Amino acid sequence: MTVREGTRPKSIGGALVDWLAEVPWWVVIIIVLITLFVGRILASPQERELYWKALQFVTTCPQGQETCAVWDRIGVMLTLKATVVGYALALVLGLIGGLFRVSKNPVTYALSTLYVEVVRGIPLLVIIMYAGYVITPALRDATNQQVDLRGFPSAVLGLAFGYGAYLAEVFRAGIESIPKGQMEAARSLGMSYPQAMRYVILPQAVRVILPPLGNNFIAMLKDSSLISVIALPDLLQQGRLFVSRTFRAFEGYNTVALLYLLMTLILSIIVRLVERKSALPGRL
């Protein structure tokens, strides 16, 4: 076996440098810091008991229930549930808004642009409070108590409505990144505009926009802490209640921060794996 002219086999040092360059050092550093932090807690019986109580408090069952299903627990599970449901609704709003944003129909384009520009100009906290304290009472009064969105539904709608505007721009950018020749080729084959968009353009666009979609999902997980302003017992709210009852702010908020960090790290790894599996050729 001969070595091609102009190429040389890598030395052991060069291979080691390449391997070190591929190691995700940020993950290693975080794991080391978390390990040291947990080790410090385990070394102190008093701190171990306080952090255990804080962890139990943010993963407990609703008030008045001694046992409940995992998905029905408050704190961490409520945060995850609000994020998943809210993001699913935001994807639907974002897709519709993105399609309208590239539409040649002046009515749909104007409505989608109005939605995007107005919602992006209002803080998400205000949107959630508006959904919980303005829209919900108004609907309840207008329907004679038939439609009641208090609590979880209003929080999810606020998150979805706020993030839908940002996802609409993500979908718009993804659709416009596909060469126009793709649509022209699909139409020349006899496809209608909706068929070409569904079977040709959107499948490619979704693979292009997976990274920003994943980033927005992680961002919504963190922004879900805002639903505590309408008195929902999410992770942050439970942490605040623990601090108010025990006056142990250090342990309470450390537990909340660590749980958010662990959830976002796990989601980041999942998003990276999905991106690698579904990336278009030549984009990695």
Q: Tell me, what's the pLDDT at 1?
A: 47
The CA angle 205-211-215, to the nearest 5 degrees, is 130
**Both tokens assigned to 256:** 């909340």
pLDDT (tens digit, 0 to 9) for every residue of the chain, 284 residues total? Answer: 454 555 566 666 667 777 777 777 887 888 898 899 889 888 989 999 999 999 999 999 988 788 888 888 999 999 999 999 999 999 999 999 999 999 999 999 999 999 999 999 999 999 999 999 999 999 999 999 899 999 999 999 999 999 999 999 999 999 999 999 999 999 999 999 999 999 999 999 999 999 999 999 999 999 999 999 998 999 999 999 999 999 999 999 999 999 999 999 899 888 888 888 876 665 55
Q: Tell me, what's the pLDDT at 280?
A: 60
Could you give the CA distance from residue 13 to residue 39 in angstroms, rounded to a whole number? 35
**Domains annotated on the chain, with CATH:** 24-278 (1.10.3720.10)
Of the candidates 266, 265, 236, which has an alpha carbon nearest to the alpha carbon of residue 253? 236
pTM of the model: 0.87
Could you give the CA distance from residue 213 to residue 206 in angstroms, rounded to a whole number? 9
Report CA-CA distances (Å) from 99 to 67, 158, 170, 173, 224: 45, 22, 11, 10, 26
Q: Tell me, what's the pLDDT at 188?
A: 92
Q: Tell me, what's the pLDDT at 7?
A: 54
Q: Tell me, what's the pLDDT at 42?
A: 87
Count of residues for the chain? Answer: 284
